[in-house]
Amino acid sequence: MMMEKKDHHLFETKSAEGRSLFHLYGVSVFVSTCMIFVYRVSYFEERYWVYWMGLFLSEIWFTWYFFLSVVIRWNLIFRYTFKHKLTLRYGEDLPGIDIFVCTADPVIEPPIMVMNTVLSVMAYNYPTQKLSVYLSDDGGSDLTFYAMLEASKFAKIWLPFCRKFKVEPRSPQAYFQIPPSAAPPFGHHQWQSIKKSYEEMKHRIETATELGQISEEIRQEHKGFHEWDSVSSGRDHRTILQILIDGRNCEAVDIEGQPLPTLVYLAREKRPQFHHNFKAGAMNALIRVSSRISNGKIILNVDCDMYSNNSDAVRDALCFFMDEEQSHNVAYVQCPQNFCNPTKNDIYSSNLSVLQEVELAGLDSCGGTYYIGTGCFHRRDTLCGKKYSQECNKPDWKSCVEDTKIEESREVLEDTCKILASCTYEENTLWGKEMGLMYGCLVEDIITGFRIHCSGWRSVNFNPERKAFVGLAPTTLLQSLVQHKRWSEGHLQIFLSEYCPYLYGHKKIPLKQQLGYSLYSFWAVNCFATLYYVSVPSLCLLRGIALFPKISSIWIVPFAYAFFAHRAYSLGEFLWVGGTIKGWWHDQRMWVFRRTTSYLFGFTDTILKLVGFSKSAFVITAKVAEEDVSQRFEQEVMEFGVSSPMFTVLATLALLNLFSFTGGLTRVVLDMQNEVLDQFSVQIILCGLVVLINLPVYQGLFFRKDLGKMPSSVTYSSVAFALLACTIAAY
């Protein structure tokens, strides 16, 4: 009977195997750090108490952060779905799905890229009459609207093509990058014909984008272009809402006579005197507008560069929402972010492989994974602020299928929905507080997911074998560092606000989940301990101050074990998630770079905001790169190229350690009794590792001649700062 009951489940959960070895590793490293503390206390150097105490506090911090990472990894769980059971049980009686795609700038986020994402989600293996796709254009650009109009026409041939030949992936750009020989077997003529149609559409969109305007001839093709007659700028205009495909219309069909998904363009109202709340404001406008047009019970949101890579992703997600026994408290299903453009060894560690493959699985076992802002399926009512209660225990999904049909015409519906996206609609409401995505935080997704968890709901991390979504990663070092600055800043904002996991989450979510949320809240704080460890021991080496045990002392054992065990586990974990040894080394480099720049500036900006000296700003990561930049990226050559305070910090630390390492080796060579080597080996090794990590920085400073080298202004200032620091330390 129990087996029969289990067979009805739409998904199953399995714990990772072999975790006892990890548990042994975690305990052993913790014991070694305790021995390090004993050494620090027992051999406290009063003469150099400032340096000694700084290292001791840094080691305490590293131990605390290590404890948090062990808590998350203690029990990894993985989810598996049974889509065939979903079909057998519900057939086509499935809920409506509203899909949100957000874009904000037609220059940084090219319209053709956005349309590939739109087309990929329109082509899901799902009843098309139950799919509604909404594009939020916060740039308010007629270029994006034109691209969407072109995509709506191309969808009439693309969707039947995908259905007939079971195309994967269903982003035209991604699909046609696959050689015809590697594609599913079918007539070459059909492949060529659909590719030609796509290339023609792409050419028209890119030509209009390059010109920066839409011709009068094209403007006459659709009434929607008249909306831009009164637009003064992308930041000052009324609501523009156009239903390009009305799924209710029996004439809205593809070339095979099958219904098309509803397709809606929205540029919410923007006025200079109103704060628009960035992506969170755009999402909330979409929630309200979609509730009037289609009111799908499940909402999927994706970034404009994050195309659907798995046409069954919707059915996978529904397995977690529609299981009669296990789904009653599932608020959202989060799919990890994956990227199509990182190089083999991922020079900027953009894949975040360990975070996506390991840490999210660990967070799932703690009570629920984060909402990371893209690739996430939500229950509409939980996103709108509904708290969990026993009444939610067994939702009747079949009763949700046949909703009340909207009777208004397309034109009337467009007009009535515009007010829902106006600047004043949210005044004196709970939107941005208890309803929709939350405002006032740079990581609006994380804090919204946290609020949902504190309302009694749980979430699911689902990482299918064929990745659900694939996007674009940063292609320059500065883009990567700025992105992490924003993330670390946002997480710290949450911790220092009323939504601190330990305060707001107390008695609302398990302690384990509170610790999971705080792991990323402390990203920014990590900068201080890391900066201390990569600078002070090096400067003390120049001054002849020993901060670690002699190499001949038994006390070197806990230091050596903690370092080598931690690095060995890190390498093993990285290889387990599909990385390479060189990729792991790049990951270690970026770990140091982020902690000494992104997190430092993120912490500083957060404090400045708290005291009123700065305001929040949402920085969009560029999705396109110049040809020479792309070429260096593909060759795994680190990109500098522009002047930035972050590069000045990186270069100064790199040179400081180079000078200190040279000074330390000089001491060893001049020492005839090998006392220096015995006393300073740890500091020399530590300094040497930092030098190895910074080899690309030295190349950028002194040896490269291309446009991606370090700017001269950064070189001069960093040399001056490093020499000044070393001179002060030595004398």
Give yes or no for a contact between 451 and 438, defined as CB atoms under 8 angstroms apart: yes
Q: What are phi and psi of 642, to 5 degrees?
A: -125, 160
DSSP string, 536-585: HHHHHHHHT---S--TTSTTHHHHHHHHHHHHHHHHHHHHHTT--HHHHH
- Buried-state track 606-620, b at ≥16 Cβ within 10 A, e below 16: beebeeeeeebeeee
Q: Tell whether residue 573 is among the known ligand binding residues.
A: no
Compute the C-alpha angle 47/51/57, nearest 5°: 125
CA-to-CA separations, 629 to 113, 206, 241, 625, 696, in angstroms, rounded:
19, 20, 37, 6, 16
Helix H or strand E encompassing 13: strand 11-15
Closest CA to 452 of 367, 523, 357, 522: 367
Q: How far apart are CA 649 and CA 477, in angstroms?
A: 14
445 labelled catalytic: yes
Q: Tell whether residue 196 is among the known ligand binding residues.
A: no
Q: How far apart are CA 713 and CA 640, in angstroms?
A: 12
Q: Tell whether residue 706 is among the known ligand binding residues.
A: no
Q: How far apart are CA 25 and CA 21, in angstroms?
A: 6
Rounding to the nearest 10 degrees, give the CA dihedral for residues 409, 413, 416, 417.
Answer: 180
In sequence order, the β-bridge partners of residue 661 are none
Give yes or no for a contact between 335 and 364, defined as CB atoms under 8 angstroms apart: no
Q: What are phi and psi of 517, to 5 degrees?
A: -70, -35
- Buried-state track 184-221, b at ≥16 Cβ within 10 A, e below 16: eeeeeeebeebeebbeebbeebeebbeeeebeeebbee
Closest CA to 578 of 363, 305, 374, 358: 358
Q: Which one from 98, 137, 138, 346 is the annotated catalytic residue?
A: 138
Place of tokens 């989450």: 505
Q: Which one from 316, 323, 346, 445 is the annotated catalytic residue?
A: 445
Helix H or strand E encompassing 307: strand 307-308
Neighbour tally for 314: CB within 10 Å: 24
Helix H or strand E encompassing 590: helix 581-593
Q: Is the dihedral of CA 483, 114, 472, 448 positive or negative?
A: positive
The residue type found at 6 is: K
Neighbour tally for 429: CB within 10 Å: 12
By residue count, the chain amounts to 731
Q: How far apart are CA 576 and CA 305, in angstroms?
A: 27
Q: Tell whether residue 359 is among the known ligand binding residues.
A: no
Q: How far apart are CA 448 and CA 161, in angstroms?
A: 38
Binding-site residue positions for Mn(2+) = 279, 303
**Which residues are part of a known binding site?**
109, 138, 279, 303
**Residues carrying an active site annotation:** 138, 445
Annotated binding-site residues for UDP-alpha-D-glucose read 109, 138
